[in-house]
Amino acid sequence: MASLALPIARLVDPLFLLLAAVALGLALSSGETGFLSRRAKVGRALIGCAWLALWLLSMPWVSASLVRWHSTPPKDLRADLAGSAPERRALILLTAGIDADEFGEPAMERLSAPGLERCLGAVRVYREHGFGHIIISGRDAVLEPTALAAGMADLLVELGVPRSKIHLETASRDTRENALYSARMVRELPVDAAVVVTSALHMPRALRMFERAGLTVTPAPVRFLSAPPDGLERLIPSSLSLRRSQRVVHELVGMLEP
């Protein structure tokens, strides 16, 4: 039986909160005989603020600015890796989502867009700098434990990464566990330097969790957001922009994890 519990990230989703504010505002405003009653004023204020917040979070200019503010910028890894031999480097690739297997498709064809982009970025970093070990960390909350990491491993192999260098970490369910369990694996390997590959927006939280796990890592962020469109279009709300704003809120809430 599926669990009825909701993760806290769903409860602080901007769309959920704003719709809840509108519903509360309507409830406060309804049934009031006095147009200027205190309760009605509060209700209308909630509705107006929720509408304004929804408009702002859906604007391409606002969402792009939020994403760029929170994302980790790219950097040249050569200085950080200069003192280590390629065979004594570990590349830690954090997983993203995967769709369920309904039609018999291979796992690597069911990876989410962020997962595909992280894989492509990891292959680029691997080819540019060389690594003796690649750790793919994470599991899907619903599918069997190895499905997600194994699908990303298959894609890396298709793109030329030797399977013998790949290690799967399939116990972690969130970023904190990604860092904790990957750090344990790195300490058991002959490794002098570790590089983490994940989405640029997710990287600040990942770095914080690896720091807490006691492992020094070098960030190799991927999946950067392009600049918003010019002119009036940057002010016109879109569902894509709201989704990007939601991701920023999700990451900010994750940064508060104890």
- Residue 4: what pLDDT? 38
Nearest-10 Cα torsion for 208, 214, 217, 222: -30
The kind and range of the H/E element at 19 are helix 14-29
DSSP per-residue letters across 22-76: HHHHHHHHTT-S-TT-HHHHHHHHHHHHHHHHHHHHTSHHHHHHHHHHHSPPP--
Nearest Cα to 222, choosing from 62, 133, 92?
A: 92
Beta bridge partners of 120: none
Averaged pLDDT for residues 182-192: 96
Mean pLDDT of 75-103: 94
The pTM assigned to this predicted structure is 0.88
Query: Which stretch of 84-93, 95-104, 162-171 has the lowest confidence by average pLDDT?
Result: 95-104
DSSP β-ladder status, 89-94 and 218-222: unpaired
Percent helix, percent strand, percent coil in the chain, to nearest 5? 55, 10, 35
Can you name the CATH fold of 74-222? Rossmann fold (3.40.50)
Q: Write out the DSSP string of 114-147.
A: HHHHHHHHHHHHHHHH--SEEEEE---SSS-TTH
Other CB atoms within a 10 A radius of the CB of residue 219 amount to 20
- Express as a percent the part of the chain with pLDDT over 90: 71
> How many residues are there in the chain?
258
Q: Kindly tell me the burial class for residue 49, based on how many C-beta atoms sit within 10 Å of its own C-beta (0-12, 13-18, 19 or more).
A: middle
State the pLDDT confidence band at 31, using cuts at 50, 70 and 90: low
- The ranges assigned to domains in the chain are 8-69+231-255, 74-222
Q: Are 139 and 148 in contact (CB under 8 A)?
A: yes
| Residue among 140, 137, 131 at smallest CA distance from 213 | 137
- 3-state SS, residue 149: helix
Q: Residue 118 pairs with which residues in a beta bridge?
A: none
The whole-angstrom distance between residue 201's C-alpha and the CA centroid of its chain comes to: 6
9-13, 15-19, 59-63, 107-111: lowest mean pLDDT where? 9-13
pLDDT in tens, 117-161: 999 999 999 999 999 999 999 999 889 999 999 999 999 999 999
pLDDT digit string (tens) for 95-107?
Answer: 999 999 888 899 9
Please check whether residue 98 is in contact with residue 151, taking contact to mean a CB–CB distance below 8 angstroms. yes
Phi and psi of 145, rounded to 5°? -55, -35
What whole-number distance in Å separates Cα of residue 157 and Cα of residue 202?
Answer: 24
